[in-house]
């Protein structure tokens, strides 16, 4: 039986060593270095999913075939769908992750299946249900309700560009880009750029 190749990507050496120790003696897993190339599964260890770690996920997925299992200390409910949009197929809370649960998540990811901690799954269902209710009551924004400028800015934000780069690409001032995002977030009651992109992707706006 072939072993699943797994790389561990963590914010600090201690976390990386701890996760590697959980997997090292599993017969079905072969730990490989990130530098060696794309492993079948990459276990990403972070404290919380924020704008910076979302960008890290985007970079890890860029040009690679690896499937991502995310170990997170805490995650806001509205970022659960964002994690999935960033290619995460396994999502576990660090407090609940042990040798068996992590191994199951890795093997499930390698076979193309998803897995998620029970509490996170319940929160995801609640979020999807809430979005469905918004759609049913007409609260969800449609693509036609975004201006051409907002559409362009959102696409570039989704592609990982910062304010200065977006301004240069669209021949706008940085102030115009910031104002565009502020107005969009205010109108849709969104928290930040990542939330705006996640919202737009969920509703097929970009």
**pLDDT for residue 107:** 93
pLDDT tens across 122-160, in order? 888 777 776 666 555 554 444 446 777 888 888 888 888
Q: Could you give the number of structural domains in the chain?
A: 2
175/130 Cα distance (integer angstroms) = 34
Owning domain of residue 181:
141-202
136 found inside a domain: no
pLDDT tens across 169-202, in order? 888 888 888 888 888 777 777 777 777 777 777 6
Residues 22 and 88 in one domain: yes
Total-model pTM: 0.63
Task: Please report where in the chains the tokens 């997925």 appear, as a residue.
Answer: 61
pLDDT tens across 5-46, in order? 999 999 899 999 999 999 998 999 999 987 766 789 999 999
Residues 8 and 86 in one domain: yes
As a whole number of Å, the CA-based R_g of the chain is 19
Residues 154 and 60 in one domain: no
Residues 165 and 126 in one domain: no
Q: Residue 5: phi, psi to the nearest 5?
A: -80, 130
Given pLDDT bands bounded at 50, 70 and 90, which one contains residue 1?
A: low
198/184 Cα distance (integer angstroms) = 13
Residues 12 and 83 in one domain: yes
């Amino acid at each position: 039986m072939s072993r699943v190749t797994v790389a561990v990507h963590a914010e600090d050496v201690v976390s990386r060593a701890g996760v590697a120790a959980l997997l090292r003696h599993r017969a079905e897993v072969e730990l490989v270095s990130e530098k060696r190339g794309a492993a079948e599964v990459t276990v990403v260890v972070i404290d919380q999913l924020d704008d910076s770690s979302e960008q890290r996920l985007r970079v890890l997925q860029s040009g690679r075939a690896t499937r991502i299992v995310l170990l997170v200390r805490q995650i806001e409910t509205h970022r659960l769908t964002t994690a999935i949009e960033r290619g995460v197929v396994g999502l576990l809370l660090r407090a609940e992750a042990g040798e068996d649960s992590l191994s199951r998540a890795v093997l499930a990811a390698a076979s193309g299946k998803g897995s998620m901690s029970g509490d996170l799954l319940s929160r995801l269902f609640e979020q999807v249900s809430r979005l469905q209710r918004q759609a049913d009551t007409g609260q969800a924004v449609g693509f036609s309700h975004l201006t051409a400028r907002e559409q362009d800015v959102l696409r570039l934000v989704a592609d990982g560009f910062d304010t200065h780069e977006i301004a240069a690409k669209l021949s706008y001032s940085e102030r115009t880009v910031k104002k565009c995002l502020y107005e969009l977030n205010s109108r849709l009651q969104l928290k930040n750029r990542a939330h705006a992109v996640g919202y737009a992707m969920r509703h097929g706006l970009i």
